[in-house]
Amino acid sequence: MVGEPNPGEPLEPPGSGKLTGANSSPAVLAAVTDRDPAVRAGEAAAAAAVAASDSGPADIPLTDLTAAAFFDVDNTMMIGASIFHFARGLAARKFFTTADLAGFAWQQLKFRVGGRETSYTTTTGRETALSFVAGRPVAEITELGEEIYDELMADRIWAGTRALAQMHVDAGQRVWLVTATPLELALIIARRLGLTGALGTVAESVDGYYTGRLVGEILHGPAKAHAVRALAVSEGLNLRRCTAYSDSVNDVPMLSAVGTAVAVNPDSGLRDVAKERGWQIRDFRTGRKAAKIGVPSVLGAGAIAGAVAAGIAHRKR
């Protein structure tokens, strides 16, 4: 049944992978340079997730090692977009102005609704995404992420979705977040929720400082599916026994990659797909609350990340 884990026999402990983003060696990064950006983003996210999970919560008993759950973050696990909340926190700390933030979101909304091309959709746009942290220490951004989570995100977690994640944890399964949000922030959210880890957008760093470039592209759409498949190979997962949760039609590739797909707080596109394919639908929104988060759902995680990051990079240039 959808959403009900089926524990199996334990296997050998999962293997480990090399981190191909922050803190990775130039040689490892060069090895994935010639790959399709979405594939590179997925593989980098999976490798980073494996490396980070080695230091994840030690008190989670794992008894079902071939099944796992994958949760989108924005509007699925959290009300609104995590990268937008993070950007708000950075604006409060004078990284940039709130007017910049509003302008970036508005430009991206016009593109997403009106279909007009922007620089974000080009190769150059992808390469400049998240460049607002270029030259800053990874440790500094991680520390700020901890503070901003407490200030702006902790109270925005959907109780219903968190309960679904806990159901998998209680069944002895691993649970990963899968999000366009930068890896470091995604890991903070996962740790605070007591989950195994996170697959997130991997930003390149050298000697502990961000270069302002991504490994591949933002973890969005097909890239999420590549990340889930790569993680499954590394961890010995049977994807037919895995479950994925999302609110967005953009995540249909990820939802289709697993045996059980659940639409959580779905946008209209995903609701139609879920009904057509017989996927379970869970909606924790009611009335005005559903309307209030409609715009972030239209924007999408990757869109907001690109709008904020590319816009800031443009302003600095």
Distance CA 145, CA 32 (A): 28
* Active-site residue, from 54, 59, 64, 74: 74
* Active-site residue, from 36, 54, 72, 170: 72
Distance CA 120, CA 108 (A): 9
Q: Is residue 258 packed enough to be buried (19+ CB in 10 Å), middle (13-18) or exposed (0-12)?
A: buried
Structure tokens at 232: 């499954």
Contact 2, 280 (CB under 8 A): yes
- Told to judge if 72 belongs to the known catalytic residues of this protein, a careful annotator would answer yes
Distance CA 81, CA 217 (A): 18
User: Other C-beta atoms within 10 Å of 115: how many?
Assistant: 7
- Catalytic positions are 72, 74
